[in-house]
Amino acid sequence: MKTSMTAMALVLGFGAPALAGKAEVLETYADIAHAGYEDSLLKARELQAAIETLLADPSPETLNAARAVWIEARVPYQQTEAYRFGNPIVDDWEGKVNAWPLDEGLIDYVDSAYGGATDENQLAALNVIANPTFTLSGEEIDAREITPELLADRLHEADAVEANVATGYHAIEFLLWGQDLNGTEPGAGERPWTDYASGDDCTGGNCDRRGAYLTAATELLISDLEWMTAQWADGGGAREAVTADPDAGIVTMLTGMGSLSYGEQAGERMKLGVMLNDPEEEHDCFSDNTHNSHFYDGLGVRNVYMGEYVRVDGSVVSGESLSSLVAESDEAVDAALRADLNATMIELGQIKASAEAGTSYDQMLARGNEEGEALIMSAVDALVKQTRSIERAVTALGVGQIGFEGSDSLDNPDAVFQ
Amino acid sequence: MMRTSLAMRSLTITLALACGLSGMARAGVDEALSRHVLPGFGAFAESSAALAASAKEDCRAEALKPAYHAAYDAWMGVSHLHLGPLEQGGRALAIAFWPDTRGMVGRTVAGLVADADPVVDSAEDFADVSVAGRGLMALERLLYEPHLAGYGKGDYQCRLARAISVDLARMAREMDEEWPDFAGLLRSAGAPGNDVFLKPEEASQALYTALMSGLEFNRDQRLGRVMGSFERPRPNRAEARRSERSLRNVVLSLEALRDMARALADGPMEDSEAAFAQALERAEALDDPVLAGVATPQGRLKVEVLAQEIRRIEEAVAQEIGVALGVTAGFNSQDGD
């Protein structure tokens, strides 16, 4: 029997790569998650320091320094987004740190063209920074002191409206950049540094409350990232959950890759913006950092598959990969998926290159901008193509059947294999 | 482990060879294409062309409403077929932009009207307009929004209604023309030279995914968005509530999905039939065109029961069709948040 199996392996062209077990692959997966959230946390602490400096000594330089750290902080965080779908611990938490799109009028002053309350959101123009007290769902709210609790427990997703985003990266982004009023023309948000000045220099009103909001939101971001980093440490809940059942863990990895690639990134974040010609439909719309947001999302998907992540200090976390596991079952499927992931990175890299050379993502969304549309849509097509390959990897691994057993799977729309 | 993967590999090779040689489509695929998909896109093209003709004849709201409803009815016959032609060029979004969580349709239509944007005078340019200003949802605003609908033949809204109708007819016609080629790819899945569907079961999976995603969309979006939470139901979020189509869309969509399930099933599907029948009966008994009943606890409960019944269809279909085809649903475009 043993002899014949070897013979068959030779006939079928099996090489002799080290056999990666599912448990080892999942360990790499959890290690990368831990490193990614820890890097995000380290960067959030740097952001906090820069914001303290800004508030202590408001100036164009200190505002720009805080903005620069925010951009850096997005690099590790976006790479963790491949963990969101499939891991309930991450998905339930994610809205606190990266909710988007937002009705920013909830937080601070906005341009008159923004409009007021809408059918969907009565609080779209609440402006907490200007209003120490207000009514929320019939209840009088005391917002004289802006605290992390106020933002997290009262304002965030207030009235059960998802666009009421009071916390996380995009709330902070809005407070650092302000609205991008350039439409699909060049330029990002232009919030003046004097929005944080004291006394008569203060612009936009309530500079002290704006500073308090920024401080509270950053504090929350740090505590949320501390929590998630711990979830992926040894013995942490997210690590335990994904490693408990190896087959289910592998499905989680592939679900995260496929759902982010297709429904979320290709669909919700990229195609929709092109189809609406709407500059607000770009993921990092205040800072014009969308090209990076997309690029690092793509890289995060690739990290999960290749079992490799480059940390913010340049060190590398790597281990047994999902790629080698798939290759054991079907080398052609693995080769095609690797090629697709690389092709996506080239397409996303071209968008990034164009943006960094001065043609920002929102300009690409303009009605009738065929070059911009082609640039974005070729990345969308690459993401859709890699999704098909991810489905083939599921089939090759034979892990797709496990969900047939119960109906619980249907409670979770993200559990797409079930 | 080695043993399993070897066995699987040889099984796959055998399957691929067998199907490659016979050139036969897998059970259900051919039936679904010839009995459901192709006729469905034919009907949508026909009724959209009739809508465009009607708009050219008289683009005022009252004159256009019957053709609008007929086209929308036909759209419900194919709106779940999110593969191939419907996925090209953002057509699904351009035909019916819903859910519209940020109120883009109202804003975009108002913007076009306020600017009297001349883009409506060129069919080619109009195809580049935001999807929120095109398709059935934008047309619905013009026909049913009181402050817009009273327009006369010489008004801008009339030109906009015509442009939307013509644009819709163009997309429907293009899809009807493109589907036979795409159907060929599905039928020849796994054959040499077919680089879209590499194995026969990938064609079954693509159609099965459309079926399951369509069921989920009815439950999770058409009903789920309106239900909101128990404390905060959301009647204003009902799909196409201005033209009072919210419940009608659920019924027509379920009927179309049943049609597809029957074609795709390779044999009887008793549990699925029973689940479809029960959900459809419940839906028709609701007698609540815009699902406004969700505003009361009792009314909301009725909609919730319907949602649960759609979930039962999903379970039955997974057991009776998914298992028989040997496939599970792949990723669908609604997997994001």
Confidence of residue A399 (pLDDT cuts 50, 70, 90): confident
Q: Which residue from B108, B128, B228 is facing A160, i.e. has the nearest CB?
A: B228
CA B167 to chain centre: 18
Q: Is it the case that residue A19 has pLDDT exceeding 90?
A: no
Whether residue B52 sits in one domain with residue B125? yes
**Mapping DSSP to helix (H, G, I), strand (E, B) and coil, where does residue B264 land?**
helix
Whether residue B176 sits in one domain with residue B62? yes
pLDDT confidence of residue A119: 67
Q: Is A229 in contact with A37 (CB distance < 8 Å)?
A: yes
Q: Which two tokens stand for residue B104?
A: 């883009």
Q: Does B319 touch chain A (CB under 8 A)?
A: yes
Q: Does A104 touch chain B (CB under 8 A)?
A: no
In a domain, B110, yes or no: yes
Q: Is B190 in contact with B24 (CB distance < 8 Å)?
A: no
Whether residue B175 sits in one domain with residue B69? yes
Number of structural domains chain B divides into: 2
E strand or H helix that includes residue A308: strand A308-310
Q: Is A71 in contact with A289 (CB distance < 8 Å)?
A: yes
**Mapping DSSP to helix (H, G, I), strand (E, B) and coil, where does residue A141 land?**
strand
pLDDT in tens, B2-59: 333 333 333 333 333 333 333 455 779 999 999 999 999 999 999 999 999 999 999 9
Whether residue B321 sits in one domain with residue B209? yes
**CB-CB under 8 Å, A390 with B128:** no
Rounded to the nearest integer, the mean pLDDT of chain A is 89
Whether residue B226 sits in one domain with residue B157? no
Contacts of A114 (CB under 8 A, 6+ apart): A105, A125, A179
In a domain, B106, yes or no: yes
- The structure's pTM equals 0.86
- What percentage of chain A carries pLDDT values higher than 90? 76
In a domain, B241, yes or no: yes
Q: Is it the case that residue A329 has pLDDT exceeding 60?
A: yes
Which chain B residue has its CA at the smallest distance from A164's CA?
Answer: B102
Whether residue B72 sits in one domain with residue B38? yes
- How far is residue A377's CA from residue A275's CA, in Å, rounded to a whole number? 10
In a domain, B10, yes or no: no
Q: Is A121 in contact with A155 (CB distance < 8 Å)?
A: no
ipTM above 0.85, yes or no: no
**CB-CB under 8 Å, B101 with A120:** yes
pLDDT in tens, A24-68: 999 999 999 999 999 999 999 999 999 999 999 999 999 999 999
Q: How many CB pairs under 8 A join A and B?
A: 133
Provide the β-strand partners of residue A308: A318
- What percentage of chain A carries pLDDT values higher than 70? 90
- How far is residue A59's CA from residue A171's CA, in Å, rounded to a whole number? 21
Peptide bond into B235 cis (omega under 30): no
Q: Which residue from B131, B201, B236 is facing A119, i.e. has the nearest CB?
A: B236
Contacts of A21 (CB under 8 A, 6+ apart): A246, A320, B1
Q: Which of B187, B212, B236 is the last residue of a domain?
A: B187
Name the CA radius of gyration of chain B, rounded.
Answer: 22
Q: Which two tokens stand for residue A67?
A: 């903005």
Q: Which residues of B are less than 8 Å from A392 in CB distance?
A: 198, 202
Q: Which residue from B130, B220, B333 is facing A367, i.e. has the nearest CB?
A: B130
- Mean pLDDT, range A338-350, rounded to an integer: 98
Q: Which of B164, B187, B210 is the last residue of a domain?
A: B187
pLDDT confidence of residue A52: 98
Whether residue B71 sits in one domain with residue B35? yes
Please list the ranges in chain B whose pLDDT falls under 70.
Answer: 1-25, 334-337
Q: Which residues of A are less than 8 Å from B319 in CB distance?
A: 404
Whether residue B240 sits in one domain with residue B153? no
- How far is residue B178's CA from residue B183's CA, in Å, rounded to a whole number? 9
- How far is residue B30's CA from residue B140's CA, in Å, rounded to a whole number? 36
**Mapping DSSP to helix (H, G, I), strand (E, B) and coil, where does residue B2 land?**
helix
E strand or H helix that includes residue A35: helix A22-56
Task: Please give the residue range of the domain that contains residue B214.
Answer: 200-325
Which DSSP string do the residues of A56-85 spell out, in sequence order?
HS-SHHHHHHHHHHHHHHHHHHHHGGGGTT
Q: Is A308 in contact with A318 (CB distance < 8 Å)?
A: yes
- How far is residue A59's CA from residue A52's CA, in Å, rounded to a whole number? 12
CA B279 to chain centre: 18
Name the CA radius of gyration of chain A, rounded.
Answer: 23
**Mapping DSSP to helix (H, G, I), strand (E, B) and coil, where does residue B253 land?**
helix
If phi > 0 it is left, if psi is from -120 to 50 it is alpha, else beta; for residue B89 that is left
- How far is residue B58's CA from residue B170's CA, in Å, rounded to a whole number? 19
Q: Does A16 touch chain B (CB under 8 A)?
A: no
- How far is residue B231's CA from residue B295's CA, in Å, rounded to a whole number? 10
Q: Is A397 in contact with A329 (CB distance < 8 Å)?
A: yes
Give me the CATH topology for the region A20-400. A middle domain of Talin 1 (1.20.1420)
Whether residue B149 sits in one domain with residue B209? no
Q: What residues does each domain of chain A span?
A: 20-400
Beta strand A133-136 with A139-142 is antiparallel
pLDDT confidence of residue B183: 98
Q: Which residue from A267, A367, A413 is facing B333, i.e. has the nearest CB?
A: A267
**CB-CB under 8 Å, B331 with A262:** yes
Whether residue B312 sits in one domain with residue B230? yes
pLDDT confidence of residue A112: 85
Q: Which residues of A are less than 8 Å from B103 in CB distance?
A: 118-120
Looking up residue B86, the CATH number of its domain turns out to be 1.20.1420.20
**Residues 49-88 in B contacting A (C-alpha not used; CB under 8 Å):** 87
Q: Does A105 touch chain B (CB under 8 A)?
A: no
Looking up residue B283, the CATH number of its domain turns out to be 1.20.120
Contacts of B160 (CB under 8 A, 6+ apart): B109, B112, B113, B120, B142
Of the candidates A261, A411, A143, the one whose C-alpha atom is nearest the C-alpha of residue B333 is A261
Mutate to test the interface with B, among A10, A120, A250 (most CBs of B within 10 A): A120
In a domain, B79, yes or no: yes
Q: Which residues of A are less than 8 Å from B323 in CB distance?
A: 404
**CB-CB under 8 Å, A8 with B335:** no
Whether residue B234 sits in one domain with residue B265? yes
Phi, psi of A141 (to 5 degrees): -110, 130
How far the first Cα of chain A sits from its last, in Å, is 35
